[in-house]
Every structure is written in C-alpha cells, then in structure tokens.
Amino acid sequence: MKEQTGTLSRRTLTTTFEVTGSVLAMAYALLIASNIGAEVLGFTLLLVSSGLFAAWAVIDRRWTFLLLQGFYATSAIIGLIRWA
C-alpha cells in the first residue's frame, strides 16, 4: 500500500490502536485486580481499549475480533453502571 503525504497509513493506525489498546487493557486489569477503589477508572479504560480494538478490527476486517470487542465494551458498561 502506498502511503500518501499528510495522511496516516492503515498500518500506522492499526499499530497505534493495537499498542494503545493493549496498554489500556493492562492498566484496567491491574486497577481492578489491585482492589484500590479505582473501578470506575478501570472500567473506563476497558471501554476506551475496546473502542480502539474495535477500530482496528474494522480496518483489518476482523469481524470475530470486533464481536469480542462488543462483549468487552458491554462488560465495561456494566462495570461502570455497577461501580458508579
């Protein structure tokens, strides 16, 4: 794929979404597991992470992975409702 000047390539976008989504998901897991009262922040990070992974899934046409992100987003919303 030829990269156009001034635009982000598909590869750059997916790498950014993948890395950022992974870091946020790890932070979510650590916050929830540490039981320090940061559940709202943790579930917010999970929701953002699943959104980034969903964008990656759409760009790469990974429909099963997109479905999984829908599950994670739903879990995050339930967590936010439960802990807010």
Cα three-residue angle 45-46-48, rounded to 5 degrees:
65
d(CA 68, CA 32) in angstroms, rounded, equals 20
Domains of the chain by residue range: 10-83
Band (pLDDT 50/70/90 cuts) for residue 4 is low
Does 5 score more than 70 pLDDT?
no
As a whole number of Å, the end-to-end CA separation of the chain is 45
Band (pLDDT 50/70/90 cuts) for residue 2 is low
Element (H, E) at 21: helix 10-34
pLDDT digits (tens, 9 = 90+) for 61-76: 999 999 999 999 999 9
pLDDT on residue 27:
98
pLDDT digits (tens, 9 = 90+) for 6-24: 567 999 999 999 999 999 9
d(CA 4, CA 68) in angstroms, rounded, equals 32
